[in-house]
């Protein structure tokens, strides 16, 4: 009887540890990036994604090799004109804001990200009434890209490793 109880206990312990997700938190010293679409029309969402792809590539060129938040801030601020030039290629009104911007509450893969004002680069297209896309620019942890099909378990462990490495510095 003792052996059965011990075996059941081990099975339950393994089951709980396998099913429990490790929370991935965005570090306090992070810079977020958000693009808000004009509306949820197919065209406005398509424009949002096109702009996201181009701006994201430019931001990678700007801060891809930066290893501290102060340098990331300076490089982003000094290169907002490059972001502006990308947006000028589209027939849409827009606003670019770098600083403390509001982010609504978000639940992603069972993890809740609290609403609040966060250091960020926010691009609002048109009236800004559509669905948005956001990720973390620095450290480079794009967590919320709805367009990519990711293996969440591997991705979460990779993100946790990056966060831990940055916190150790």
- Asked whether residue 7 carries a pLDDT value surpassing 60, the answer given is no
Backbone phi and psi for residue 112, each to the nearest 5 degrees, phi listed first: -95, 130
Tokens of 96: 């670019």
- Are the C-beta atoms of residues 37 and 47 closer than 8 Å to each other? yes
pTM higher than 0.75, yes or no?
A: no
Q: Domain residue spans in the chain?
A: 26-168
Q: Is the pLDDT of residue 85 over 50?
A: yes
Mean of the pLDDT values across residues 75-92?
96
The residue among 145, 143, 139, 144 whose CA lies nearest residue 163 is 139
- The region of weakest confidence among 84-88, 129-133, 135-139 is 135-139
What is 31-99 written as a DSSP string? EEEEEE-S-SSHHHHHHHHHHHHHHHHHHHHHHTT--SHHHHHHHHHHTHHHHHHHHHTSSS-EEEEEE
């Amino acid at each position: 009887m003792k052996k059965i109880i011990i075996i059941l206990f081990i099975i339950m312990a393994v089951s709980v540890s396998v099913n429990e997700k490790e929370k991935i938190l965005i570090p306090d010293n992070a810079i977020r990036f958000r693009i808000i679409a004009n509306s949820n029309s197919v065209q406005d969402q398509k424009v949002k994604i096109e702009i996201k792809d181009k701006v994201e590539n430019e931001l990678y060129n700007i801060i891809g090799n930066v290893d501290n938040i102060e340098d990331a801030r300076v490089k982003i601020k000094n290169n907002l004109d490059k972001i502006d030039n990308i947006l000028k290629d589209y027939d849409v009104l827009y606003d670019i804001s770098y600083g403390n911007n509001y982010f609504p509450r978000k639940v992603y893969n069972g993890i809740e990200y609290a609403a609040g004002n966060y250091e960020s680069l926010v691009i609002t297209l048109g009236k800004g009434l559509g669905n948005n896309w956001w990720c973390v620019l620095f450290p480079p942890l794009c967590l919320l890209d709805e367009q990519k099909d990711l293996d969440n378990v591997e991705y979460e462990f990779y993100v946790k490793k990056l966060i831990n490495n940055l916190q150790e510095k």
